[in-house]
Amino acid sequence: MTSPSAATDNTDGTDEIVHEHGDAEGLGNRLNWLRAGVLGANDGIVSVAGIVMGVAGATSDRSQILVAGIAALVAGALSMAAGEYVSVSSQRDAELALIEKESHDLKRMPEEELAHLTSILEGKGLSRDVAHAAAEELTDKDVLRAHAEFEFGIDLDDVTNPWGAALASMLSFFVGALLPALTILLPSPERFYVTAVTVALALGVTGWTSARLGGARPMRAVLRNVLGGLFAMGVTLLIGHLLGAQVG
C-alpha cells in the first residue's frame, strides 16, 4: 500500500519526498453522490420503520401493515426522487446562469475580469506579480474555465446532474425502506425486536459509510443515526398503541 508520504531514490543518490494528495474532483463527486444516497437510505429506513411500527402498534392485521409499508415505500421513494431532482435542478440552473453571466462579462470587460482573477489569486497567498502572471497564463489557456473555478467553484466538465442525484435518492430510499417493511411482517411480538435491531444495524452502516467517505470520525455519525432512528420508532410505536387502544 502506498503511504501518503514516501521517499524515492533519484539517480543522483538523493531522496525525493513524494506527498500524495487526494483527488479533489473525485472527492467532490463522491460527496455529492454520498449526500443523495445516504440521505435517501436514512430517510427510507427511519420513515418507513416509523410508519410500520406505528401501524403494527395499532393493529395486528398483517395485511394492513403490509399495505401501509408498501404505500410508505413507494410514496417515499418517489417523493425523494422528485425533491432531489427539483433541488439539484435549481442548483444546476444557478450554476449555468453564473457561467453565462461570466462569459458575457469576460467578453465585455476582459481587463476588469483579469484584475479580479489576480485579486482572487492574491487572496490565496500569491504575491501581486506572481498572481498577475498566473492570471494571465490561466486566461490564455481557458479564461472561462479559470473564472468559473476560482470565482464560483464550478467545474465546467462537472456541472451538477439532477437526474443522477434523483436516481440515487430513489434507489437508496427503496433499499433502506425494504428492511423495516419486511421485518415488521414477522410474527408478533418478535417483529418489534427484529425490526428495531435491523434498523439500528442499517443506520449504523449508513452512518459509518457517510463518515468514512466524508473523512469524519465514524462513531459520532453512527450514534447519531442509530439513536435518532430508535427514538423515531419508539415514538410512533407508542402513538400506535395509544390510538389502537382508543379505536379498539
Please state the separation of Cα 166 from the chain's center in Å. Answer: 11
Cβ neighbourhood burial of 23 (10 Å; 0-12, 13-18, 19+): exposed
Q: How far apart are CA 37 and CA 33, in angstroms?
A: 6
Q: What is the pLDDT of residue 200?
A: 93
Per-residue pLDDT of the chain (248 residues; tens, 9 = 90+): 444 444 444 444 444 444 344 444 444 555 666 677 778 888 899 999 999 999 988 888 889 999 999 999 999 999 999 988 898 888 888 888 888 888 888 888 888 888 888 888 888 888 888 888 888 888 888 888 888 888 787 777 667 778 888 888 899 999 999 999 999 998 877 888 999 999 999 999 988 887 887 677 889 889 988 999 899 889 998 998 888 765 54
Are 155 and 149 within 8 A, CB to CB?
yes
Question: Which amino acid is residue 84, in one-letter code?
Answer: E
Q: What is the pLDDT of residue 30?
A: 55
Q: How far apart are CA 182 and CA 15, in angstroms?
A: 59
Hey, what's the torsion of the CAs at 18, 24, 26, 29, to 10 degrees?
A: 170
| Residue tagged 413507494 (cell numbers) | 74
Length of the chain: 248
Query: What residues are paired with 15 via a beta bridge?
Result: 9
Are 9 and 17 within 8 A, CB to CB?
no
Please state the separation of Cα 231 from the chain's center in Å. Answer: 23
Q: What is the pLDDT of residue 110?
A: 85
| Residue tagged 463518515 (cell numbers) | 211
| Residue tagged 410514496 (cell numbers) | 75
